[in-house]
Amino acid sequence: MIELKRLSKVFDADSKNITAVNDVSLTIEKGDVYGIIGLSGAGKSTLVRCINYLETPTGGSVVFNGVDLGTLSHKELLKQRQKMSMIFQNFNLLSQRTALKNVCYPLEIIGTPKKEAEEKAKKLLETVGLSDRMNSYPAQLSGGQKQRVAIARALATDPQVLLCDEATSALDPNTTRSILSLLKKINTEMGVTIIVITHEMKVVEQICNKVAVIENGEIVEKGYVKDIFMSPVSDIAKELILPKNEGIKRVLSERVIRIAFDGRSSVEPLIANLILECHAVVNILGADTKDIEGTAYGQMLLQLPDDEAAVNRIKAYLDKKEVKYEEV
């Protein structure tokens, strides 16, 4: 559906070049909820703005439904953008319009008759659960409500793709969860392909099926979320996946491995047996479980003993049990 081919964006700022996106190739298929995760300044926003040509790439191409966006006239490009909506961290609603009128805006610019537009806007506001706040102005709504209005507005033109640039980063954890489940619902029920830009792994875990990890403008890792969770390769992916815990960071200098498992394996006998069989004591530094596309996945950080022989026994044991692990 969307193919990014060797996409690059170099900014010419104050006579020095900043490469914000560097040689990115990605294929997003219809129905995907594709996460693009990276730390601040990694080039996520620039990348997503290149996808709808809000930013003109300096290299490579964006192919949307077989059409190379770079070959289009400005007018044709505006048409394509109507099939590719976008929502933002700061909601970007029109402050002088009510929620209803905000949702009407994209319909207005394509010349939909006012009555028809309002009816559709009302339906969409119902879909996002805001039928009682249609005549409120953005200033009268909470962050989560504003993002719901923005989502309704983004859906007004029946887009095939929804681009979300840090759509939940300004929201508290509960609101984030409810917005994410709304997005998931839009994906499954309306068949909208979603691209989710975020710096938070928990966002990817909650709704994405695929993920690309971006660092310094380059994609360092990409694939199915569950695969990357089970065995992350890049340092940045490992960092993003690790359970966030102060105590863990402090002892990471010592010998620590991360083991990942899915719902099929039972972990407690594993650790108990490991200790018994390997005659070695391990210290559990942290553990958590997540639900990725309906399957439970877990991870555990184990501090290993200093004894090299014991470490080798543990690794052999884990290999035998086909448990994925890596040193962190």
Partner 1 sequence: MIEFFDNLLGTGMTEMYVNAIFTTVKITLLSTFLAYVIGFPLGIILYGTASGSIFPNKSVNAAAGVIVNILRSIPFVILLVMTQPLASVIVGTKIGDNAFIFYLVVAAAPFVARMIESSLKEVDAGVIEAAQSMGSNNFQIITKVVIPEAKPSLIIGSAIAVTTILGYTPMTYLIAGGGLGEMAVRYGLYKFDSKTMYISSVLLIILVQILQETLNHIAKSSDKRIRNQQNTHQKKEKKS
Ligand X SMILES: Nc1ncnc2c1ncn2[C@@H]1O[C@H](COP(=O)(O)OP(=O)(O)O)[C@@H](O)[C@H]1O
Binding positions for partner 1, rule: CB under 8 A: 52, 54, 75, 78-82, 84-86, 88, 90, 92-98, 105-106, 108-110, 128-130, 132-133, 136-140, 142-145, 148, 150, 153-154, 157, 163, 174-175, 178, 182
- Pairing of the two strands 2-13 and 33-37: unpaired
d(CA 293, CA 192): 17
Contact call for residues 212 and 36 (beta carbons, < 8 A): yes
As measured in angstroms, the least distance from the Cβ of 27 to Mg ion is 22
Considering only the stretches 26-34, 39-47, 223-231, 317-325, report the one whose residues sit in contact with Mg ion under the rule CB under 5 A. Answer: 39-47
As measured in angstroms, the least distance from the Cβ of 90 to partner 1 is 5
Assess 102 for contact with Mg ion (CB under 5 A).
Answer: no
Q: In what order do the strands lie in the sheet with 295-303?
A: 283-292, 295-303, 256-262, 324-327
Contact call for residues 201 and 37 (beta carbons, < 8 A): yes
Chain Cα centroid distance, residue 91: 17
d(CA 181, CA 187): 10
Assess 44 for contact with ligand X (CB under 6 A).
Answer: yes
Among Mg ion, ligand X, partner 1, none, the one that 13 touches (CB under a kind-dependent 5 to 8 A) is ligand X
Which one among 4, 20, 149, 167 touches ligand X, defined by CB under 6 A?
Answer: 20
d(CA 209, CA 193): 11
As measured in angstroms, the least distance from the Cβ of 147 to Mg ion is 16
Using the minimum distance from each CB to Mg ion, give the nearer residue, 40 or 266.
Answer: 40
As measured in angstroms, the least distance from the Cβ of 45 to Mg ion is 3
Which one among 24, 28, 42, 328 touches ligand X, defined by CB under 6 A?
Answer: 42
> Could you say which residues in the range 44-83 bind Mg ion, by CB under 5 A?
45
Q: 204: number of CA atoms within 13 Å, CB side?
A: 25
Q: Which of 38, 14, 13 is nearest to 199 (CA)?
A: 38
Using the minimum distance from each CB to ligand X, give the nearer residue, 46 or 157.
Answer: 46
d(CA 107, CA 137): 19
Using the minimum distance from each CB to partner 1, give the nearer residue, 40 or 95.
Answer: 95
Using the minimum distance from each CB to Mg ion, give the nearer residue, 162 or 318.
Answer: 162
Which one among 26, 28, 46, 57 touches ligand X, defined by CB under 6 A?
Answer: 46
State whether the Cα torsion 162-166-172-174 is positive or negative.
positive
DSSP states of 70-121 as a string? GGS-HHHHHHHHTTEEEEETT----TTS-HHHHHHHHHHHTT--HHHHHHHH
Among ligand X, partner 1, Mg ion, none, the one that 18 touches (CB under a kind-dependent 5 to 8 A) is ligand X
As measured in angstroms, the least distance from the Cβ of 54 to Mg ion is 13
Assess 15 for contact with ligand X (CB under 6 A).
Answer: no
Binding residues for ligand X (CB under 6 A): 11, 13, 18, 20, 38, 40-46
Where along the sequence are the contacts to Mg ion (CB under 5 A)? 45
